[in-house]
Structure 1
Amino acid sequence: MKKIYFLLLLIVPLISQAQEDLMAMLSDSNEVFIKSGTFKASRIINGHSVETVGKNNLDFIISHRFDRINRGFDDFFGLDAATNRLGLEYGVNDRLTLGMGRSSFQKLYDFFGKYRLLRQSTGASNMPISLTVFTNYSLITQNSTPNISAYDRSSYTNQLLIARKFNEAFSLQISPTIIHRNRPDFINDSKTILATGIGGRMKITKRTSINGEYNYVFPNQIDDNYTNNLSFSFDLETGGHVFQLLLTNSFGMTERQFITETNGSWGSGDIHFGFNISRTFSFEKRKKNNL
């Protein structure tokens, strides 16, 4: 037994050294190592993440926001009323995603495209960040004011989504944003709004994480009745599903709504409980094994 232990003491360091030499050889080769899973879904919470849908995959997303918690017991702390958004996102290829959605709030339709320009990687190609461009068009079809045209109810969003996965547990993203509303709710509001978002993901276990998101609108652009959006979520990944339980001060779920038209305050208890459910369907043809 002593001889066996002695041999093990000699062999284990040799194996360890061989593994290190192999990794060094790989790092010196032309191989590129892509950092995947910066975020687990195409959304951080309300806002888009750098992630795009895989080629020939279709994501079906159900988003739900209940009314404000401070409604009290008579409205069952906001659970008596709610708004929802149904969305579809299709991966044309691994970099390009096209999507659309319909929100019950303001009966709003949105159409968007995302393209991943850069992927964080190491090895032969060292890229410290992931970069995705996002563009969106939305149309409010609830016309509560007579003689307001579809043009006046239209808005456009353009974003740069810049993210880095610092390690297996922590990812961070910043999102410079331009939103143009053809007709703002308040006459003194700017039509073109400059804002920036920041969002992060902290992994707890293999399938769970905590996300946070904040959208800041630069001063003197929108009415003082509006506030900046702040949201937190608990994410659970179960196979082809990603399930988010969240708290947010925004009732709307598209960029125009939650970035430029949030009127709830966390300090006043204007908090909405909600959830996002994402289900992926694959249309990739499976290769049959040759027998």
Structure 2
Amino acid sequence: MSKIVYFFCFFFCFGIAQAQDDLLKELDSDSIAKSQITAAAFKGLQICTMQSTKLASKGEWYFLVAHRFGDLTEGFDNFFGFDNALTKIGGLYGVTNWLTVGLSRHTLNKNYELTAKYKLANQEEQGFPVTIVGYNTMDINTKLSTDEFPELKGTDRMAFSTQLLISRKITTGFSMEIVPIYIHKNLYEPLSEEVDNFLLAGGGRYKISKRISINAEYALRLNANDSSFYHNPATIGLDIETGGHIFQLVFSNSQAMNDVSYFTNANGISDGKGIYFGFNLYRVF
């Protein structure tokens, strides 16, 4: 376990240090204007459910609505997922071209999620090979009550994620991303979860037309509890770009949409059950 922690600490620190050194060199030599930044690896702010390296531009507002229906495999018993759907609604704002902040509310656990996304380096045509973006979330679970947990503290409601998004646009139609992830939960299930969770996720996008792409993502839980009934999250999706809208259709083994729950509490697919259909809709202003 300690080796995993040291590996991630080294990976994060090394990546950030390299990105900062590269950016400082560009500033000192006034080469930013001369270097040609590669076009964004992803059109959407998310690959499917996990984040992409795309940020909002300075001054842009994004309104987002996401929906995950219940288990499709239950058929008419839950009307193919319509009876127990989950919703996420929120907004994002581009404070600068390198910093985006957001707030969303989820029906799952009446959870509020605060996010910060910040660019550390850009992929360049004849220079730095990848785009590096940091991403942090803080969840506040407002469903918990002192009636159920008499000794509940305010900090018990909180959970956090830290992610380092590293993407490369390989061709005009194909992009990939790798994401080391650390998640900490102040309140967790001892028999099926860990208080500190380490994952390594990957995702990709393949463009099939001017406005449509196929996306996929998968995350490996590196220190999963042996007795856990949760699974590694996996999602496939379809991006549809329509002017100011990015519309994403997804099929996943996790119904949750907040990062902490998505990465650690995926409960399908098991015995052919646990397939969740949904969508993400972004509108930029």
* TM-score band, normalised by shorter chain: 0.7 to 0.9
Deviation for aligned residue 1:209? 0.2
Give the counterpart letter for 1:155 in structure 2. A
Give the counterpart letter for 1:243 in structure 2. F
Q: Which residue of 2 aligns with 1:58?
A: 61
In the alignment, is the contact (CA less than 8 A) between 1:66 and 1:81 conserved in 2? yes
Between the aligned partners of 1:154 and 1:40, the Cα distance in structure 2 is: 31
Between the aligned partners of 1:183 and 1:105, the Cα distance in structure 2 is: 16
Q: Which residue of 2 aligns with 1:229?
A: 233
Between the aligned partners of 2:252 and 2:46, the Cα distance in structure 1 is: 14
Aligned residue runs from structure 1 range 113-128, under 5 A: 113-123=116-126, 126-128=127-129
RMSD across aligned positions (CA): 1.5
SS in 1 for 2:247: strand
Deviation for aligned residue 1:163? 0.3
Q: Which residue of 1 aligns with 2:92?
A: 89
Deviation for aligned residue 1:219? 3.5
Q: Which residue of 2 aligns with 1:166?
A: 170
Deviation for aligned residue 1:178? 0.4
Give the counterpart letter for 2:214 in structure 1. I
Q: Which region of structure 1 is more displaced relative to structure 2, 188-197 or 210-219?
A: 188-197
Q: Does 1:191 align with 2:191?
A: no
When residues 248 and 112 of structure 1 are mapped into structure 2, their CA distance, relative to the original with a 3 A threshold, is same
Deviation for aligned residue 1:37? 2.4
Aligned residue runs from structure 1 range 128-167, under 5 A: 128-143=129-144, 145-147=148-150, 148-167=152-171
Between the aligned partners of 2:52 and 2:107, the Cα distance in structure 1 is: 23
Q: Which residue of 2 aligns with 1:258?
A: 262
Higher-Rg member (1/2): 1
Between the aligned partners of 2:270 and 2:193, the Cα distance in structure 1 is: 23
Deviations 1:22-56 (A, max 9, x none): xxxxxxxx732111221111111111111110000
Deviations 1:171-227 (A, max 9, x none): 000110000001112356321111111010000101000000111111444742110
SS in 2 for 1:74: helix
Between the aligned partners of 1:55 and 1:267, the Cα distance in structure 2 is: 47
SS in 2 for 1:50: coil
Between the aligned partners of 2:192 and 2:253, the Cα distance in structure 1 is: 24
In the alignment, is the contact (CA less than 8 A) between 2:191 and 2:228 conserved in 1? no
Between the aligned partners of 1:275 and 1:223, the Cα distance in structure 2 is: 31
When the two structures are superposed, what TM-score results if normalisation uses the length of structure 1?
0.82
Between the aligned partners of 1:235 and 1:112, the Cα distance in structure 2 is: 22
Unaligned runs of 5+ in 1: 1-29, 282-291
Give the counterpart letter for 1:168 in structure 2. T
Deviation for aligned residue 1:133? 0.5
Of residues 27, 30, 36 in structure 2, which corresponds to 1:33?
36
When the two structures are superposed, what TM-score results if normalisation uses the length of structure 2?
0.84
When residues 219 and 57 of structure 1 are mapped into structure 2, their CA distance, relative to the original with a 3 A threshold, is same
Between the aligned partners of 1:240 and 1:267, the Cα distance in structure 2 is: 40
In the alignment, is the contact (CA less than 8 A) between 1:193 and 1:221 conserved in 2? no
Q: Which residue of 2 aligns with 1:44?
A: 47
Unaligned runs of 5+ in 2: 1-32
In the alignment, is the contact (CA less than 8 A) between 1:190 and 1:222 conserved in 2? no
When residues 159 and 222 of structure 1 are mapped into structure 2, their CA distance, relative to the original with a 3 A threshold, is farther
Q: Which residue of 2 aligns with 1:204?
A: 208
Q: Which residue of 2 aligns with 1:277?
A: 281
Deviations 1:130-159 (A, max 9, x none): 000111110111116332223112111101
Deviation for aligned residue 1:266? 5.8
Q: Does 1:215 align with 2:219?
A: yes
